[in-house]
Amino acid sequence: MTAKRILILGAGFGGLAAANKLRKSLSQDHRIIVIDRKKSFMMGLVNLWILAGSRGLEDSQTPIDGLNSRGIEYLNDEAVKIDPDSSRVQTAAHGWITYDYLVIALGSELAPERINGFVGRGFNLYDSSQVPALREKLLAIKRGRVAISIMGLPYKCPPAPYEAAMIINDILTKNGTRGTIDIDMYVPSPLSLPIAGPKVSADVVATIEKYGIKFNPSCKISSVRDGEIEFEGGRKETYDVLVGIPPHRSPDVIKSSGLTTREWISVNRQTMRTDRKNIFAVGDVTEIKVGQSAIPKAGIFAEGQAKAAAGQIINEINNDKSEASFDGQGFCFMEIGGRQAGYVKADFYNPDGPLLSLEPPSEANYEKKHDFERSRIREWLL
């Protein structure tokens, strides 16, 4: 058997899960190389703990070079071009790197600039560097309105904006200012979680309304001015603090590579293979249609897809004809403040259609959320 070189683009959820599974199953003569422009890994869900004040940004970073001691080669570099016809990737600092197998796990990018007037006026909840200042602002205001706007679909971790709303409620309550500050959520779709259907969406709305948070459906933001948001159709609302979940887009290197003519990469929903030779794609950069919707952008799905892609590559290298398979199952936590969390559980490949439910909040689930982070960092990087 000739030794293979497996190149993984991105050291987030998908890239780290794929690299570790490959390393555990393949002998050392097969090289596994991971490229990421970042030097450290932090899960997106930590943003909510920074918001809540239970975590600092600096204490939450794990160096990605921990991969090297596991026999996985890490290159801190930028992938600038993918050339599927020659099976190679161009990087900013290391030039062209050839591969036998490529796993694309580059995630999604945030595009706050697509919302006219938002940058400089609102806080981007998904940009961890802005969350400490958002928390300071929430602690400083005495009255007014916090507006939380989901600015486009799809976005990462569909329950996260609702978690943020309830954590903000908790912050303001503890600060003694909740009585004079309204919290309003503005959502582009008629349902709170379109992917989860009407029943779970209604449960989510009932959960936030219990805390006096107002749900405003079908509000597509068009622009932001000082103290005022405007929605498509002309509706205007005031804000004192604006929290945005900006539109998401795929990384530029994907579009320029010719791997998709749309925003996201289409893959085989079991093996995560693309239609290009020996290229797999996993996680937020992909789109897997289920009914009218698509599998949500969440770490748990990126991880499951990465394990399937890695399993398929291992089978092929070992001349094993069996097919690896992503099972379409996962869950997303929904924290409500006060050390309590529920979660949305999903089975997207259920033969009778996607099956989703909302599990009620408990302290045990809150602990599970912390363990979710700890166990993966231990398994992937330490």
Ligand X SMILES: Cc1cc2nc3c(=O)[nH]c(=O)nc-3n(C[C@H](O)[C@H](O)[C@H](O)COP(=O)(O)OP(=O)(O)OC[C@H]3O[C@@H](n4cnc5c(N)ncnc54)[C@H](O)[C@@H]3O)c2cc1C
Residues that bind ligand X (CB under 6 A): 10-15, 35-38, 43-45, 47-48, 78-79, 105-107, 126, 156-157, 160, 251, 253, 283-285, 297-300, 302, 332-333
In a 10 Å sphere around its CB, with 0-12 CB exposed, 13-18 middle and 19+ buried, how is residue 94 labelled? middle
Q: How would you classify the pairing of strands 31-36 and 73-76?
A: parallel
Smallest distance from the beta carbon of 319 to ligand X, in angstroms?
Answer: 29
Q: Which is nearer to ligand X, 65 or 232 (CB)?
A: 65
Q: Which is nearer to ligand X, 158 or 237 (CB)?
A: 158
Q: Which is nearer to ligand X, 43 or 153 (CB)?
A: 43
Q: Any idea how long the chain is?
A: 382
Greatest alpha-carbon pair distance for the chain in Å reads 70
Q: Which is nearer to ligand X, 47 or 268 (CB)?
A: 47
Smallest distance from the beta carbon of 179 to ligand X, in angstroms?
Answer: 27
Strand runs labelled E in 179-320: 181-186, 214-216, 221-225, 228-231, 236-238, 241-245, 248-249, 265-266, 279-281, 286-287, 289-290, 293-294
Report the distance separating Cα 117 and Cα 153, nearest Å: 19
Smallest distance from the beta carbon of 141 to ligand X, in angstroms?
Answer: 22
Q: Which is nearer to ligand X, 195 or 300 (CB)?
A: 300
Smallest distance from the beta carbon of 315 to ligand X, in angstroms?
Answer: 22
Q: Which residue's CB comes closest to ligand X?
A: 12
- For 1-69, give the DSSP string: ----EEEEE--SHHHHHHHHHHHHHS-TTSEEEEEES-SEE--TTHHHHHHHTS--SGGG-EEGGGGGG
Cβ atoms of 244 and 118 within 8 Å: the answer is: yes
Report the distance separating Cα 252 and Cα 293, nearest Å: 24
Smallest distance from the beta carbon of 199 to ligand X, in angstroms?
Answer: 21
Report the distance separating Cα 18 and Cα 30, nearest Å: 14
Q: Name the strand (E) or helix (H) holding 358.
A: strand 355-362
Smallest distance from the beta carbon of 230 to ligand X, in angstroms?
Answer: 25
Q: Is 286 helix (H, G, I), strand (E, B) or coil?
A: strand
Q: Which is nearer to ligand X, 155 or 231 (CB)?
A: 155
Q: Which is nearer to ligand X, 105 or 242 (CB)?
A: 105
Smallest distance from the beta carbon of 338 to ligand X, in angstroms?
Answer: 17
Q: Is 234 helix (H, G, I), strand (E, B) or coil?
A: coil
Residues 6 or more apart whose Cβ sits within 8 Å of residue 173: none
Smallest distance from the beta carbon of 47 to ligand X, in angstroms?
Answer: 4
Report the distance separating Cα 374 and Cα 112, nearest Å: 30
Q: Which is nearer to ligand X, 215 or 301 (CB)?
A: 301
